[in-house]
Amino acid sequence: MAEQASGSEGPLSGTVVLDLSRALSGPHAAMLLGDLGARVIKVEQPGTGDETRSWGPPFVGPDDERISTYFLACNRNKESLELDLKSPDGAALLTRLVRAADVLVENFRPGVLDRLGFSAERTAALNPRLVQCSISGFGHDGPEGGRAGYDQIAQGEAGLMSLTGPDPETPTKVGVPIGDLLAGMNAAYGVLSALYERHTTGRGRVVRTSLLSSIVGVHAFQGTRWTVAGQAPRAIGNHHPSIAPYGAYTCADGMLQVAVASRGQWQRFAGLLGIDADDPRFADNAARVANRPALDAAVETALAESGRDTWLERIGAIGVPCGAVRTLDQVYEWDQVRSQGLIAEVDHPVLGPVELPGSAVRFSDAAATAAETPPGHRPPPRLGEHNDTVRAWLETLDEPGSATSATAERDGAGP
Q: What is the pLDDT of residues 278-290, one digit of tens each?
A: 999 999 999 999 9
Q: How far apart are CA 298 and CA 304, in angstroms?
A: 10
Identify whether residues 133 and 258 lie together within a single domain. Answer: no
Domain boundary among 298, 326, 354: 326
CATH number, position 73:
3.40.50.10540
Examine the domain organization and report whether 174 and 48 are in the same domain. Answer: yes
CB atoms near residue 257 (< 10 Å)? 18
Provide CB contacts within 8 A for 278, sequence distance 6+.
none
For residue 131, which of 179, 186, 196, 81 has the smallest C-alpha distance?
196
Assess if residue 230 is contained within a domain: no
Per-residue pLDDT tens digits for 99-149: 999 999 999 998 899 999 999 999 999 999 999 999 999 999 999 998 888
Q: Are residues 120 and 255 in the same domain?
A: no
Q: Place 6 in a pLDDT band, splitting at 50, 70 and 90.
A: very low
Residue-number span of the structural domain to which 47 is assigned? 16-218+341-411
Q: Of 256, 331, 255, 240, whose CA–CA distance to 292 is shortest?
A: 240
8 A C-beta contact, residue 85 and residue 48: no
Whether residue 6 is contained in a domain is answered as: no
Number of domains in the chain: 2
Same-domain status, 407 and 264: no
* Domain annotation covers residue 335: no
**Residues 208-234, mean pLDDT to the nearest whole number:** 97
Q: Is 11 among the domain residues?
A: no
pLDDT at 9: 80
Q: Among 326, 354, 383, identify where a domain stops.
A: 326
Q: Are residues 75 and 213 in the same domain?
A: yes
Calpha distance 350→381 (Å, rounded): 10
The yes-or-no answer on residue 50 being catalytic is no
To which H or E segment does residue 409 belong?
A: helix 406-411
Region 383-406: mean pLDDT is: 80
306 plus 353 within the same structural domain = no
* Average pLDDT of the chain to the nearest whole number: 92
Q: What is the pLDDT of residue 403?
A: 44
Kindly state whether residue 10 falls inside one of the protein's structural domains: no
Q: Residue 323: in which H helix or E strand, if any?
A: strand 322-324
> Nearest Cα to 22, choosing from 347, 358, 383?
383
Give yes or no: residues 262 and 381 share one domain: no
Can you give the pLDDT at residue 402? 57
Q: Domain of 264: which CATH number?
A: 3.30.1540.10
Q: Are residues 315 and 201 in the same domain?
A: no
| Inside any domain, residue 20 | yes
Compute, in degrees rounded to 10, the torsion defined by CA atoms 201, 202, 203, 209: 70
**Distance from C-alpha of 299 to C-alpha of 296, rounded to nearest angstrom:** 5
- Domain assignment present for 367: yes
The active-site residue out of 89, 141, 180, 411 is 180
- Indicate the pTM of the whole model: 0.90
Of residues 363 and 81, more confidence is placed in 81
Does residue 228 sit within a domain?
Answer: no
